Structure 1
């Protein structure tokens, strides 16, 4: 089972990153993809991945919250990072109209620029979409024939949105949101609809700790070592065996991100 979304650069992991990675390995997690959310954190993510070859990889991108920071220098930094063997995707990029930390037009500009970069360097994209589906798909769709692949990370949308993403050929990343009795009930009903070869699993640590773990963790910080719980819950919702699902999702991740180790 491969965790495709870990914010290992977060200050919440500043004191014990090595232990966090060890706990993930000990829990049976087979690899980590460290998320880059702006130019600086993308550089930090790549640096962290170089310290754990064959187990950690990273993305390079600008999250929609940081879209107002987009510049020619940012683009150059991401392009340089994309030449590193540890960097296997462009992103996290996309649209987030839930909070509009950056203005919608800034988000759209940075998103389109990163799709162009991904097409240029031949890497798949690691996508973010929240309350922006129509605009998101309008920007993404023309680029899809030119992209090496795409995953919509932390999918929390509707059935119609899921069907549109699948029809577009996207992989779908599922987090511990599906374990949240307050917000994840609709998402639970969608789990059987995702084809086995398009499903990816992630913790989005340190965020989105699975709320239904028992006993409850002492800390509210999520960790990649909790991925087995998400695998078990998703497998149950799909009527599948957890070990087989974990192995399938590992294969899916390695195929999308072209991992040879």
Structure 2
């Protein structure tokens, strides 16, 4: 299994980061991508990857929440970071009109600039979207076919939005949102529409702890070792076998991010 979205730079991992990685490996996680959400964390992600080459990879980008805080040279810095061997995508970038921690117009500018950067660098895009689908897709549309791959990270949208993403050739990242019948029922109803050839799996740790873990963990912190819980729920809801899901998501992820994953599945 490969976890495409882990916020390993988050301070909730500061006390036991090495133990988290050890538990992930023991659970069958072969590799993971550390999510870069701003310049500081993108740099920290690269530093972590250098400690575990062949197991840890990363993205470099600016999340919409951080769009207001970009420096005038942030694109140059992202371009420089992208030259590091471990950096396999631009992002996490996109739009988030749910909370508007950054002004919408600034979000759109910073997102558009990162889309263009990915096209110029020939890098995949690791995408975020919340309550902004139409504008988000409108900004991406001119670049369809001009960027190696688009990954809709942590998809939680509607049936119509899912079909739009799939028709555009995007890969779709599924998280523990699927394991919450209260908030995630719409996703549970439509996840079977995702072809195995476009499916990816992720924990988005330390966020989105799968609600159905038993026994219930003492901490609300999610971690990559819980990735099998998501695989099991995907198998339950789609009818695909656990091994089919693992094999296809591993193949998709290795192809898109040019990974050489260690260990067994």
Q: TM-score, normalised by structure 1?
A: 0.98
Aligned to 1:222: 222
Equivalent residue, structure 2, for 1:41: 41
What is the CA–CA distance in structure 2 between the aligned matches of 1:243 and 1:225, rounded to whole Å? 17
Rounded to whole Å, the distance in 1 between the matches of 2:15 and 2:61 is: 25
In the other structure, the counterpart of 1:170 is 170
Structure 2: runs of 5+ lacking an equivalent: none
Whole-angstrom CA distance in 1 between matches of 2:259 and 2:3: 13
1:1-261 equivalences in 2 (<5 Å): 1-261=1-261
CA distance in 1, matches of 2:83, 2:72: 17
Q: What stretches of structure 1 move > 2 A for 4+ residues in a row? A: none
Equivalent residues, number: 261
**Separation (CA, whole Å) in 1 of partners of 2:73 and 2:17:** 29
Q: Once structures 1 and 2 are overlaid, which stretch shifts more, 73-82 or 196-205?
A: 73-82
Q: Higher mean Cα deviation, 203-212 or 63-72?
A: 63-72
| SS of structure 2 residue aligned to 1:118 | helix
- Alpha-carbon distance in 2 for matches of 1:34, 1:239: 30
TM-superposed CA distance for 1:81, in Å, is: 0.5
Aligned equivalents of 2:206 and 2:257: distance in 1? 22
Structure 1, unaligned runs of 5 or more = none
SS in 2 for 1:148: coil
> What TM-score does the superposition give when structure 2 sets the normalisation length?
0.97
Shift of 1:148: 1.1
> In 2, distance between residues paired with 1:227 and 1:259?
18
Following the alignment from structure 1 to structure 2, what is the Cα–Cα distance between the partners of residues 260 and 227?
A: 19
> Cα distance, 1:74 vs. partner?
1.1
Deviation by residue 1:47-66 (Cα, 9 ceiling, x = unmatched): 10111111110000000000
1:247 shift after superposition:
1.8
RMSD of aligned C-alpha atoms?
0.8
